[in-house]
Amino acid sequence: MITYKKPAEIALMRESGRVLARTMRLTAESIVPGKTTLLDLNDLADKLIREKGGIPSFLGYKPGKFVYPASICTSLNEEVVHGIPDDRTLQSGDIISLDFGVILNGWHSDSAWTFAVGDISDEARRLMSVTKESLMQGIARAKVGNTVGDIASTIQAYVEKNGYGIVRELVGHGIGRSLHEDPQVPNFGRAGKGPVLKEGMTFCIEPMVNMGSPKVFTKDDDWTVVAADGKLSAHFEHTVAVTRDGPMILTTEED
């Protein structure tokens, strides 16, 4: 069941999103190639979220059989999503996707961004650029009267036009009092299909794009999803509200 948020509730989600965006920026700025580990990023993000009165949404999250054991997801290179922070050290040439969730005053926000570590290849930089642009094009379709399918088909068309694979096993989602709510927001599909967008809907749009095949598998840790062909993957995500004035991105620091 889709829940529709009042303006005051969206404002509370916006505050959660600001905490998240600040955490994302400062955590990414802390990366030093050859020195910073994935656990360092997790520990810093946890500290930054809590010092603003928030709670990491992901820590202890249990959607099914397995509990997520960390405060953030750190997905490195060919890892698509849900990478568990460990003692690996980031090296120049890596790309790292940071995925955060924040609870503030009972309201969730969720965002992911892929960052370059030091000097990266032109191919990696292009993958990141296309993935980010596909997110922004999808967000632009989040208007009253459009459908979830309009968002999905826009993302898919742009990604595939650029020669990349769009992951199908994982999708975006509604968000609010819970981290995952209805509706699902795929990154592939047909225009005009799916739920009609109405004022007060809040959801996460999050294209996951592989440099090669869209196929993925899950590691033995039961969380980390990896590109099946071992090629790079990028992930960008914002929490978005549908308003009468158009889409509102909730996970930014700027007004």
Q: Is residue 46 in some structural domain?
A: yes
Give the model's confidence band at 30: pLDDT under 50 very low, under 70 low, under 90 confident, else very high: very high
Residue 65: predicted pLDDT? 86
Residue 185: predicted pLDDT? 98
Q: Is residue 2 in some structural domain?
A: no
Question: What does the pLDDT average to over 91-100?
Answer: 98
Residue 148: predicted pLDDT? 98
Q: Is residue 234 in some structural domain?
A: yes
Q: Is residue 254 in some structural domain?
A: no
Question: What does the pLDDT average to over 91-110?
Answer: 98
| Crossing angle for the helix pair 38-51 and 7-29, to the nearest 10 degrees | 140
Question: What does the pLDDT average to over 63-82?
Answer: 96
Residue 81: predicted pLDDT? 98
Question: Looking at the DSSP assignment, which residues form a beta bridge with residue 211?
Answer: none
Question: What does the pLDDT average to over 12-40?
Answer: 98
Q: Is residue 54 in some structural domain?
A: yes
User: Using one digit for the tens of pLDDT, what is the confidence trace for 108-165?
Assistant: 999 999 999 999 999 999 999 999 999 999 999 999 999 999 999 999 999 999 999 9
- Domain of residue 70, CATH code: 3.90.230.10
Q: Is residue 255 in some structural domain?
A: no
Question: What does the pLDDT average to over 35-44?
Answer: 98
- Sheet containing strand 246-249, edge to edge, reads 181-185, 172-174, 202-205, 238-243, 246-249
Instruction: Give the CA angle between residues 116, 166, 59 to the nearest 5°.
Output: 60
What percent of the chain has a predicted confidence (pLDDT) above 70? Answer: 100
Asked if pLDDT for residue 255 goes beyond 80, the answer is no
Asked if pLDDT for residue 204 goes beyond 90, the answer is yes
Give the model's confidence band at 64: pLDDT under 50 very low, under 70 low, under 90 confident, else very high: confident
Residue 220: predicted pLDDT? 95
What percent of the chain has a predicted confidence (pLDDT) above 90? Answer: 98
Residue 254: predicted pLDDT? 85
Distance, first Cα to last Cα, the chain: 30
Q: What domain range is 100 assigned to?
A: 7-249
**Angstrom distance (rounded) from CA 209 to CA 230:** 13
Mean pLDDT of the chain: 97
Number of domains in the chain: 1
Question: What does the pLDDT average to over 225-243?
Answer: 98
Contact 224, 82 (CB under 8 A): yes
Q: In terms of pTM, does the model score above 0.85?
A: yes
Q: Is residue 1 in some structural domain?
A: no
